[in-house]
Structure 1
Amino acid sequence: MSSIIEQGFGVGDVICLLWFKCNLPRYCTQFIEICIILCANHGPCVSGVHNAIVTASARKDLVSCLVQVLQCSVSLLLRSAVDDAARYFKDACDRSLTPYEFVESMKKKGIRVPGIGHSIYI
């Protein structure tokens, strides 16, 4: 343990030593650390971000990476939140509410704006 600390190994390095019994290149250990960060922030099912990282790893352009995130965001898994948000936004537009008035009216009703933000942090 002392040598691991002295050499400045990160979590990815330690996992490689435990699982694969060897030192792997820095890009491998960084990938493991990115996976841990994503899971810590969003849980294990963060498909949009994962797809963007895989797309970027394949050396695709920024637009292709963004498209991967957007495709996941409007997939069947999340379509309900996106559809509900669109209905609420349309209703607010039809009633000529300002964004502030819209958010305040949702707060008064005790309704979270669907499709916006992460429910854990709201």
Structure 2
Amino acid sequence: MRHDLLADVFSAMKNAENSGKKEVIVGSSNLVANILNLLKEKGYIDGYEVLMMNNYAKYKIKLKGRINELKVVKPRLSFKKRNLIKYKSRYLPGKNVGYLIISTPKKGITTDRDIEGQEGGIIIGYIY
């Protein structure tokens, strides 16, 4: 029984990258689709397609080999813009290396570099 689909997807992607595979099949949800679109936009994956297997949708992700670390942050931490530097230094290895994957009320799923103004949100995970 799965408790966290997003954590399962992230670990499957990281394990496939480490073993040198070019594709991986994972479960689907709206949150996973939004994060995969973000990863494609940032250049970490080539893309994904939807497969129907036994009346369940699955995603077939085409990997590029650029992922060094990909993890979910648990518990999901809420933050304000002024506290974002603390979380960047905690989860990312250096300045301008990688992204925090965050959910904001105005923009939905985005990265730490794309938020504007005094907007806050919830940290979902990180990638570098």
Same fold (TM over 0.5): no
- Normalised TM-score (structure 1): 0.23
Instruction: Give the number of the structure whose residues are more often strand, by fraction.
Output: 2
Higher-RCO chain (CA-CA 8 Å, sequence separation at least 6) = 2
- Which has the greater radius of gyration? 1
